[in-house]
Structure 1
Amino acid sequence: MTEKGSNFFEKVYDVVRKIPYGRVCSYGLIARYLGSPQSARMVGWAMNASHIKEDVPAHRVVNRVGLLTGKHHFEGTNLMQQLLENEGIQVKENKIVDFDQCLWNPVENLPNIT
C-alpha cells in the first residue's frame, strides 16, 4: 500500500472511531467527509483492513442503503449483525431496519476538515 493510501486509511479510521454507539455510517458519507466523494470503495478497503485495528468499530459502517456488505470480513457467521444488535440496531435480512433513523453523517456532525 502506498503512503498516500495508508494516510487515507488512517483518516477513515479516525472518522469511524467517532461514529456514536448505536449509529451507523455509510462508506460514501465517510468518503465525502474526507473530500473524496468518489472513494467509497477505498473506504471499504480500509474497513476490510481494519481488523488489525481493534479500536475501529468497523461494524458501524454499511453501504448507502444500510446493507451489511462488509459482514464477510468479520469472524463468525453473523458477528457484524450481532455487534450492531448489541448496540440496539435492528437488522433484518442483512439490512438495517429504520436505516435513516440510525444513520450518522460526519459531514453534519464533525468539523469541516478541508
Structure 2
Amino acid sequence: MIKEDLIYEILSVVEEIPEGRVASYGQIARLIGRDKNSRLVGKVLSMAEYYGRYPCHRVVNHAGRTAPGWREQRLLLEDEGVEFRKNGCVDMKRFQWNA
C-alpha cells in the first residue's frame, strides 16, 4: 500500500509541470528523492483521479512515449503546443521541463 503523503508528494510535483512541457516518470522520481521509483510514479498517476485534478497528461516515459491505451494524452499535449517526432514520441530535447 502506498502512503498518502507519498502520493501527494508525487502529485504536487506533477502539478508544477508547466503547460507546454513534459516530465518523465524517472524525472519525477528523482525530484522526490526516490531515483529508482519511476514505476511507483506511474502507479500513483494511474490513481490520480481519486485525489483531484492533476495534469498527468504531461508525464511521459524517458523516450517521450505516451501512456499505452490513453489516446487522449497526445491530443491534450498537442493542444498545449507540445510537438511529437515522426516516431510518435514527444521531442524531449525541446519540451522536457527543466525542474
In structure 2, what is the equivalent of residue 81 of structure 1? 74
CA distance in 1, matches of 2:98, 2:27: 6
Cα 1:63/1:29, change in 2 over 3 Å: same
1:23 aligns with 2:17: no
User: Aligned with 1:105: secondary structure?
Assistant: coil
Aligned-residue CA RMSD (Å): 1.6
Q: Secondary structure at the match of 2:16?
A: coil
Deviation at 1:101, TM superposition (A): 1.1
Could you tell me how far apart the structure 1 residues matched to 2:45 and 2:88 are? 17
Structure 2: gaps of 5 or more residues: none
Q: Offset at 1:100?
A: 1.1
Identify which of 33, 36, 39 aligns with 1:38.
36
Q: TM-score, normalised by structure 1?
A: 0.77
Deviations along 1:2-51, one digit per CA (max 9) or x if unpaired, are 4x3x2211101000000000000000011011010011000000111112
Identify which of 89, 95, 102 aligns with 2:95. Answer: 102
Moved over 3 A (4+): none
| Number of equivalent positions | 98
